Structure 1
Amino acid sequence: MTQIPDWLRLKKALTVEAERGFQDLQGNQYRFSEFMTLSLGESLAVGTSDHRRRWQSLAQEFALYPQMDQSQRQALIASTRQFLHQFQKDLETPPEPPKTPKTQPLGIREPHSPTSGNIPPLDAPLNSLLEIDRRWTGDALARLGLYTVRDALFYYPRDHIDYARQVNIAQLVDGETVTIIGTIKSCSCFTSPKNKKLSILNVQLRDRTGQIRLNRFFHGAYFTNRGWQKRHELQYPVGAIAAASGLVKKNKYGITLDNPEIEILDSPGGSIESHKIGRILPVYPLTEGVSADIVRKAILAALPAIQHLKDPLPPVIQNQYSLIPLQQALTHLHFPPDQTALSQARRRLIFDEFFYLQLGFLQRRQQQKQIHNSAILATTGELIEQLKKILPFELTNAQKRVINDILNDLNAPIPMNRLVQGDVGSGKTIVAVFAILAAIQSGYQAALMAPTEVLAEQHYRKLVSWFNILYIPIELLTGSTGVRKRREIHSLLETGELPLLVGTHALIEDPIQFRKLGLVVIDEQHRFGVEQRAKLLAKGKSPHVLTMTATPIPRTLALTLHGDLDVSQIDELPPGRQPIQTTVLTTKQRLQAYELIRREIADGRQAYVILPLIEESDKLDARAAVKEHKRLQEVIFPNLKVGLLHGRMNSAEKDEILTQFRDNVIQIIVSTTVIEVGVDVPNATVMMIENAERFGLSQLHQLRGRVGRGSHKSYCLLMNNGKSPDSQQRLAVLEQSQDGFFISEMDLRLRGPGEVLGKRQSGLSDFALASLVEDQDVLNLARNAAEKMILADENLEGFPSLQEELETRYQKMISGSILT
């Protein structure tokens, strides 16, 4: 059930902001405008459709609050207060009882109850059921992966259409799904004069409030046969009572139902026999050549077998979390009698999806903690103390907290499996260095793996500056490393003379052997596949694992993707980091962007110009960058040095360009997202991103993090070529916030987890029903239930059916992809 907003917090926030002069106050976690945007966004499902539109409008307005002047801010807060007051009154006023339609009520009957003598077994082939046409329907269902009765029962609808609401013709509203009942005034079936392969059935239906024309369309030469058309007309005789269900649409002829389902009733009060008309209709995923009717018919035929299903979820959990039985949930998901039954069914089955995934994660985590052959690393020692002395900066409280988490893990015989989330520039690398030194001073080796050569080289340069002072050898291994150097690294690793190796995929692709690997650090870990990570871990004996990401994800996704990991967050930026002034510009303001770049370069600074990755094609990507580079160099900035960087370049070419950029030989670098992570040029102060509407918010935040790394004021210019209002709303989030966690939360709400993470990178299988955005409350309940279950019976020995279901579901859901 949707939660009503916390009125007290909303009103207090509005009051304090007004009292303090509309300054967009900074709270403990969010700015005022960020808090209001999130709070109002969570309320979008509350109230009537008018209320929901107003919630959405207010959320969009508060996203633009930082750009408003004081009078605009004052007006927005005043109107929001008025709306909250009125909405609260509306909630407290009981609604008027709905008016009963004067037409006869629908006589909808439940699906026939199965008889004990005709219940197919769960593993029976679908085409063995009498209702299934063995000749071709069985083959069509097989194309959807439906072979057995069990397959059909667990083939969930992707949506439902509510035809249960009956209205009079005069009450029809464009966009609603309804059922109407009336008398047939005329019926004709004919071939379209514009398309000789299209037949049209035209039915005129009238009730006491009005008249409507309904059309159904039949494509194919078979239906243009005049005999077929005449027989079809006879099915809808004039004067008969008919029920029709469909989506209300308005066209040039007026209001109609879009390709409706129509059924003749025995009498004005007669019952509807169809499983489509006047009901909540399930909509299933289909493929070419398989109609919705075929799937519904198969599932209806399989439904009696639900009696064979055993519910593996213990009754104590069902009772504690108010969950209906599995058999009832499946029945009502496929053919719900009403919206309440459908909501209860979805809640139970969504709970199951989350519960088994979390149960698998927690069981795996417990098993990891039983491994006691991992290296116990000294968390105090000479190297760590020396590092503290040579650091030219003071660690933040967040860094100290995370370092403490890591050192506590390393001091235990159980292998560490920790994820460190930190915003751009939060200082994750130095946190990893403390872990690396703990391994080295304990006599072990460490490996740091990064997804790209640019990022690996960036780590190497940073670590060398510290490790040379500590007299610790360190080497870099990438695809560009020469054969002779590669052999030297292999030899030093095998003898133990090389304590730390930084590299890319080459660390796992090379036949290298560590003498005593105790710690593995993986940066931007979501960019590596499970097999790649496992290969690196296999080069040691239960080494400790520290993974890092500069792409913060909301807690909901962290629980789902990393349920078997301990998660630490560096939620504080080092002192002195200046906020980056971010501005959304249209193509008409491009000259202003170029003028800012010229001013900054005249002051000795440098700039990036980023182009979007198009269809993940290096060729398209490179051509776009090459064309823009030529235009900027020859037309816009002919007196400056403009460099080019893209994914088709080899490592030597990339190194040369980046070196020239670091040395300020190149003032402007035109690049693709190859520079998203790993490039650290403190003198660069302008980040101009073309077609910013094509990027996700989190990726834009990552790109923005390439500037603002020095002591100079920095700028991020988001060029919005999109015409949609949504693109302006999305990009406004970047204007108002520098908080990566807030931005990722908004990205998740606006685009969903598949787009935010990238499905290939996240390894997240699609849930059949659950939504990580809309079902966070159920996820939290499922996580809580799974924790209690593991605490009570870690190996589920007392629940064999639950353990069996877990093994089946967990493997399907992770597909071997989520595990780290």
Structure 2
Amino acid sequence: METESPDWLRLQKALAVEAERGFTDLMGKQYRFSEFLCLEFGKPPATLIPIERRRWQEMANKFARYPDFPLEERQHLVAETRRFLHQVQQSSNKQIQEQTRENREQYTIENPNYKAPLTAPLVQSNVGVSLDQQLSHLPDVGVRKSGYLAKLGLQTVRDILFYYPRDHIDYARQVNICELEAGETVTVVGTVKRCTCFSSPKNQKLTIFQVVLKDRTGQITLSRFFAGNRYSNRGWQEGQKSRYPVGTIVAASGLVKKSQYGITLEEPQMEVLAHPGDTIDSMSIGRVVPVYALTEGVAADMVRSAVIAALPAAKQLKDPLPAALRDGYGLMKLPEAIANIHFPPDSAAKEAARRRLVFDEFFYLQLGFLMRRQAQRQKQASAILAPRGKLIEQFHKVLPFKLTNAQQRVLNDILNDLQSSSPMNRLVQGDVGSGKTVVAVIAILAAIQSGYQAALMAPTEVLAEQHYRKLVGWFNLLHLPVELLTGSTKTAKRREIHSQLETGELPLLVGTHALIQDKVNFHKLGLVVIDEQHRFGVEQRALLQQKGEQPHVLTMTATPIPRTLALTVHGDLDVSQIDELPPGRQTIHTTVLTGRERTNAYDLIRREIVQGRQAYIVLPLIEESEKLDVRSAVEEHQRLSESIFPQFQVGLLHGRMTSAEKDEAINLFRDNQTQIIVSTTVIEVGVDVPNATVMLIENAERFGLSQLHQLRGRVGRGSHQSYCLLMSSSKTADARYRLNVLEQSQDGFFIAEMDMRLRGPGQVLGTRQSGVQDLALASLVEDQEVLNIARDAAEKVILQDKKLEQHPLMKAALDYRYQRLMGGAILT
């Protein structure tokens, strides 16, 4: 219900008296102070402009809570109200009426069925708002609210403009009451038939508000529930009823829900309209409503109202993208995109805005990668390596097999890079058993025969030793020395290695993080090979590169990642894929089992061991956890040894064992002195036992698909048929679906793509990689097309303007975004 003009004098007098008496919520003749203000603000004047009407209605809600406020908040509310009333009273009634008339003429709807009342524009003319202005200086925010917004890292107008919603709720579609269907978000417009607000007979602390709306097609009962003593006072309840008198036109938005009492709207948002074709001024009714990430003490409407206050400044944003580039890729202008990502008029505008802003996130990321790669290529490398020579020829002769076409293709890429004076920075992706190590060895030999040294760094001692064993076998045939340096290397041996490195006697050093210690100094390092590179931190990889003067860098991973993820994380790398397995590799039979089928798994293990084979049993934990219902390695090892396989030797391997203990466990298993090894994921990479044919993984649903595929790769390395058994106790459909992917596919790249779709890029990569988790809007799963065109656009820009001298706005945006997104860190 609206009034023509409130009693300004009476309102101001009530506020003044309350202030004089110490903000005690004075009791008047009929109402308490808070009840009186709640009632008065429940009747907004008809002359108010939309932004003032919203604040007027907010005041009613605030004074309903006034009795529960501490003294400081009461003082603040009374002062704020007095200022607001003075501002409204001093406004020109004539100008306000004229503005209201123009707005209504602009948005009047001629449809007599009231199908789509348009919402009024939320952005009011806010003269003087600038991008770098503090939010506390905005009239609709103020010091108190800005303090809450600071919890979200929002200090300036620019900050909040680029604080994108995490989601939107579409209330823009208006329907007749008879057309309501459960599960939809809609808006209905109807006439109030009845309105009640009362305390529940069963619980006096529960207040029930109900309004019955009807249109020409039917009627609907809308309910809201308020828990707490503050809502049970008579003044507040009467104030609610007075806002929706019989005959009033109301717009209501919400999620349609079907209950035992019929169709209704869940937690409906409602606004009183002056007439059926009136504009809707609410931030959350009849429009696409933004949903922001919040924190304690920060309400959704607080963020929305601050965004609305800041939106006029969006026009000041200068678009760094040239018009030709925007038009070429069908992109919205930046100021328009910012406005429409917050409060779009419809879903189409929201999607167009999102596409532009997602493009920006990917574009500047790719632009930074390309500029970094360009800078790397301009550096003069000390190593120009020969792709042909006696060592490589001899190696091909001693190899008992021929390289696959995929290996040869990737090797050609590497050897071409090594001939350049620009340092190579290439990532080789290959599935388990695809032969990455052989390709890396040929690159190492190219460095050695050219007079340089090489280093191969692996993330674990197990994997480093595995590489060392393989390289020793090959290098002995070539009469070349190779050494292993890990945390377990004895002091005397360590000194010997350091000395041989500095003199240049040692051409190749294999090791773990020990390679990046200060005492490790190469005489002439020409090539760095990093295996399972995603397991190293940014600084660790950079430190190894600094052991030489711009050495070539070859990184390898047996955990393939989808192209979109590779572009986002390794955009400054050249990526090669070994997408072909050597001939003779057998398919590993993979089966998902439940707890009831455990005996079948044990029977298979027994049959294989009787035939001379061996088995892995992998568990996610070392020791039993009270919180997680999963089998532990230590407990399971004891159970299997004593109860299930007493006739066999059962070994144990986990990450808390010393290096000597790990070596002993692996060597015993490698020599078939233990037929079963119970292990954690420490055997994920590096353990190569061709005689092992069974991999049993307990609680398989707790692992990522790529990790399961890696574990599966520990078997099937010999000539015998191998098996992978995925034991799962989970009954969820999602878990079963994920594990079925492993049952149906042996393709690591496909599995990695599915892993990213099911778990998200952050979990696939782990937390060490920067950048991916920080993308505000972009999704590597849903926005692959935008990523591809952003990469294409970035390549075109760099091709024409290598240093962005012709694009100063773009250069400034890149510097700002790149430092903020990547933290200035070198990814690769």
Q: When the two structures are superposed, what TM-score results if normalisation uses the length of structure 2?
A: 0.84
Matches within 5 A, 1:297-446: 297-446=305-454
Q: CA deviation at 1:272?
A: 1.2
Q: Give the corresponding residue for 1:217.
A: 225
Q: Give the corresponding residue for 2:132.
A: 123
Q: Distance in 1 between matches of 2:656 and 2:232?
A: 56
State the AA in 2 paired with 1:120. Answer: V
Matching residue within 228, 238, 244 for 2:236: 228
Q: CA deviation at 1:659?
A: 0.7
CA contact (8 A) 2:172 2:286 kept: yes
Matching residue within 486, 495, 500 for 1:478: 486
State the AA in 2 paired with 1:437. Answer: L
Q: Give the corresponding residue for 1:53.
A: none
Q: Give the corresponding residue for 1:819.
A: 827
Q: CA deviation at 1:545?
A: 0.2
Q: Distance in 2 between matches of 1:476 and 1:194?
A: 77
Matches within 5 A, 1:591-670: 591-612=599-620, 624-670=632-678
Q: CA deviation at 1:456?
A: 0.8
Against the structure 1 CA distance between its residues 359 and 172, is the aligned structure 2 distance closer, same or farther, given a 3 Å change threshold?
A: same
Bigger shift: residues 665-674 or 236-245: 236-245
1:102-142 deviation line (CA, Å, top 9, x unaligned): 74134323425554x713111110010111132x2111100
Matches within 5 A, 1:606-755: 606-612=614-620, 624-755=632-763
1:284-330 deviation line (CA, Å, top 9, x unaligned): 11111101000000000000111211111111101111111101111
CA contact (8 A) 2:119 2:287 kept: no
State the AA in 1 paired with 2:508. Answer: L
Q: Give the corresponding residue for 1:563.
A: 571
CA contact (8 A) 2:485 2:511 kept: yes
Q: Give the corresponding residue for 1:204.
A: 212
CA contact (8 A) 1:420 1:569 kept: yes
Q: Distance in 2 between matches of 1:622 and 1:683?
A: 28
Q: Distance in 2 between matches of 1:490 and 1:193?
A: 85
Q: CA deviation at 1:609?
A: 1.0
Q: Give the corresponding residue for 2:115.
A: 105
Residue correspondences, number:
719
Q: Distance in 2 between matches of 1:724 and 1:559?
A: 33
Q: CA deviation at 1:737?
A: 1.3
CA contact (8 A) 1:764 1:814 kept: no
Q: CA deviation at 1:811?
A: 2.1
CA contact (8 A) 1:622 1:646 kept: no
Q: Distance in 1 between matches of 2:482 and 2:227?
A: 70
Bigger shift: residues 196-205 or 444-453: 196-205
Matches within 5 A, 1:444-459: 444-459=452-467
Q: Distance in 1 between matches of 2:673 and 2:472?
A: 24
Against the structure 1 CA distance between its residues 589 and 367, is the aligned structure 2 distance closer, same or farther, given a 3 Å change threshold?
A: same
Q: CA deviation at 1:444?
A: 1.2
Bigger shift: residues 447-456 or 756-765: 756-765
CA contact (8 A) 2:434 2:582 kept: yes
SS at match of 1:447: strand
Q: CA deviation at 1:360?
A: 0.8
Matches within 5 A, 1:404-553: 404-553=412-561
Q: When the two structures are superposed, what TM-score results if normalisation uses the length of structure 1?
A: 0.85
SS at match of 1:803: helix
Matching residue within 793, 798, 801 for 2:801: 793
Q: Distance in 2 between matches of 1:515 and 1:248?
A: 73
Against the structure 1 CA distance between its residues 167 and 105, is the aligned structure 2 distance closer, same or farther, given a 3 Å change threshold?
A: closer
CA contact (8 A) 1:473 1:498 kept: yes
Q: Give the corresponding residue for 2:145.
A: 137
SS at match of 1:568: strand
Q: Give the corresponding residue for 1:26.
A: none
Q: CA deviation at 1:817?
A: 4.8
Q: CA deviation at 1:191?
A: 4.2
Bigger shift: residues 647-656 or 252-261: 252-261
Bigger shift: residues 608-617 or 287-296: 608-617
Against the structure 1 CA distance between its residues 627 and 225, is the aligned structure 2 distance closer, same or farther, given a 3 Å change threshold?
A: farther
State the AA in 1 paired with 2:502. Answer: E
Q: Give the corresponding residue for 1:588.
A: 596
SS at match of 1:497: coil
Q: Distance in 2 between matches of 1:568 and 1:618?
A: 45
Against the structure 1 CA distance between its residues 207 and 509, is the aligned structure 2 distance closer, same or farther, given a 3 Å change threshold?
A: farther
Q: CA deviation at 1:818?
A: 6.1
1:31-53 deviation line (CA, Å, top 9, x unaligned): xxxxxxxxxxxxxxxxxxxxxxx
1:372-423 deviation line (CA, Å, top 9, x unaligned): 2331112211211111111111111111111111111111111000000000
State the AA in 2 paired with 1:104. Answer: Y
Q: CA deviation at 1:735?
A: 1.5
Q: Give the corresponding residue for 2:18.
A: none
Q: Distance in 2 between matches of 1:527 and 1:619?
A: 28
1:325-359 deviation line (CA, Å, top 9, x unaligned): 10111111111011111111111111111111111
Against the structure 1 CA distance between its residues 467 and 188, is the aligned structure 2 distance closer, same or farther, given a 3 Å change threshold?
A: same
Matching residue within 285, 289, 296 for 1:288: 296
Against the structure 1 CA distance between its residues 761 and 153, is the aligned structure 2 distance closer, same or farther, given a 3 Å change threshold?
A: closer
Matching residue within 194, 204, 208 for 1:186: 194
State the AA in 1 paired with 2:135. Answer: L
Q: Distance in 1 between matches of 2:477 and 2:134?
A: 71
SS at match of 2:142: coil
CA contact (8 A) 1:619 1:648 kept: no
State the AA in 2 paired with 1:583. Answer: T
State the AA in 1 paired with 2:114. Answer: Q
1:421-472 deviation line (CA, Å, top 9, x unaligned): 0000001011110111111111111111111111111111111111122221
SS at match of 2:247: coil
CA contact (8 A) 2:120 2:280 kept: no
CA contact (8 A) 1:614 1:620 kept: no
Q: Distance in 2 between matches of 1:476 and 1:503?
A: 5
Bigger shift: residues 704-713 or 382-391: 382-391
CA contact (8 A) 2:372 2:572 kept: yes
Q: CA deviation at 1:599?
A: 0.5
CA contact (8 A) 1:580 1:715 kept: yes
State the AA in 2 paired with 1:122. Answer: L
CA contact (8 A) 1:358 1:560 kept: yes
State the AA in 2 paired with 1:637. Answer: F
Q: CA deviation at 1:761?
A: 4.5
Q: Distance in 2 between matches of 1:196 and 1:363?
A: 67
CA contact (8 A) 2:624 2:630 kept: no
SS at match of 1:700: helix
User: Considering only aligned residues, what root-mean-square deviation do their CA atoms show, in Å?
Assistant: 2.2
Against the structure 1 CA distance between its residues 741 and 122, is the aligned structure 2 distance closer, same or farther, given a 3 Å change threshold?
A: same
Matches within 5 A, 1:48-87: none
1:544-601 deviation line (CA, Å, top 9, x unaligned): 0000000111111111111111111111111111110111112221111111111101
Bigger shift: residues 139-148 or 481-490: 481-490
Using the aligned pairs only, state the percent identity.
69
